[in-house]
A and B are shown apart, each in its own frame.
Chain A
Amino acid sequence: MIGTLKSLWAVGLKLFAPTQTQGYPEVKPALAPRYRGRIILSRDPDGQERCVACNLCAVVCPVDCIEVVKAETVEGRWYPETFRINFARCIFCGLCEEACPTAAIQLTPDFELADYARSSLVYDKPDLLIAGKGKYPGYRYWDVAGKTAPPNTDPKDLAP
């Protein structure tokens, strides 16, 4: 009996407590830079595509939503002819970003991907490739890849 009244009183007081609701479309949530949202393809500091079409992201993808078709430049460097992500399938796990050796594929804090048709959720290379460098501004894969590191180098310093 006393417990019932106590609980009534405690819940009644909540009427004057501040609400925890965030008014989402008007008030945007503050998301961390590492939030796993829409996927992009980034570029080098000198404006080159970072992606080398190694296909690791497509292999590691647990839902098979990435399709990469390799092509080769005249110098023999690989680049993706097709890079397609089906966001209707993507689960935003971030494994592609972890697998990427060149920090090309990155997840961004944008989650507003809703659309009216499934076909418009298939993003092709022009939809994915951005002009900027993404999360790793100074990183250029070819500066660190295929070279002998000086002795006593911490391998972590070579990562993006």
Chain B
Amino acid sequence: MSGWLVILASAVLIAGLLVAAGVFTWVERRLLGFLQERLGPNRVGPFGFLQWVADTVKLLTKEDAPPEGADVIAFRLAPALAALPILAGFGVVAFGDGLAIAPLDMGVVFATAMLALTVYALVLGAWASRNRYALLGGLRAAAQMIAYEAFLGLSLMGVVLIAGSFAMADIVAAQKGAWFILVQPLGAVLFFIASLAAAHRLPFDLQESETDLVAGFMTEYSGMSFALFFLGEYVAILLVSALAVTLFLGGWLGPWLPGPVWFGLKVGAVALLFIWVRAALPRPRYDQLIAFAWKLALPLALLNLLLTGWVVVA
């Protein structure tokens, strides 16, 4: 693609993602409501659909002041750092056959790297807030990210071994026969668990667990700074859903409908799964969370990789 076209496509993609994240907050609140025998927001617009617009307007008009004693530059930098890498990560996602803004050869690695970068935003924001709850949240974020990134990468190595490529388009093309969730069920489950942690979602949202840390790393944030953290979290859900669909659920492949429609439907379904998990599962204790990652998930991911490698080579 030529330069201007790339810029135009990126702008469209970013705008689309912002709207998608907003709509997703509404979908989450409604679905969570029904899962808890409530209705959820149903007042603004038809079925409450415009609730996310109202929320955005509210967040834009709220005061956004750094707390006393905060490191103001870092405090302002952190929210931007939370949203930007995730949006960049979407650059390599293949929405259809040949439909990617930057079809990198190392697409999967790039996307996971961008996911991992958000932890800097969390730690920076926590440190700059000069608040002990925020700092505890930041520490947890760092430890959790190290623990879960390790087997996030390993769990998808099996797929990469079978497909023989890190490029998203090649991985999807390799699933023409059978989706990799059938070939790599253990890898898919491990990847889903790790992506929950990578997107900082319940039950792995220890860094902002409001029951013991007020709001964790974003205790001191309000207004648009808060909204950027929030946006980063919701776009991260969409990004890991897109990754899961690309790696395990056949990407844009599907009968009758055009590729991007299939891709969108699958990403939506995986994102709904995130909401379902949030409604059903309690938050584990911190040491349980870390022990699970290092003592169970990482060995399982290594075993999966070992077996896959054995099968592929043999």
Contacts and interface: CB of A to CB of B under 8 A. Distances in A.
Interface string A1-30: 000100110111011011111010000000
B281 A8 contact: yes
Interface in B250-285: 276-277, 279-281
B280 A7 contact: yes
**Interface size classification for chain B:** 10 to 19
B280 A11 contact: yes
Interface residues of A, number: 14
Main secondary structure of the interface of B (DSSP, over half): helix
A21 B35 contact: no
A12 B34 contact: no
A20 B38 contact: yes
Nearest to B273: A8
B277 A15 contact: no
Nearest to A13: B35
A15 B279 CA distance: 11
Contacts of B37: 14, 17-21
B56 interface: no
B279 to A, nearest CB: 5
Given A19-B39, A21-B39, A8 B276 contact: yes
Interface in B170-225: none
Interface in B24-47: 31, 33-39
20 contacts: A4-B281, A7-B280, A8-B276, A11-B35, A11-B276, A12-B276, A12-B280, A14-B34, A14-B279, A15-B31, A15-B34, A15-B35, A17-B37, A19-B33, A19-B38, A20-B37, A20-B38, A21-B33, A21-B38, A23-B39
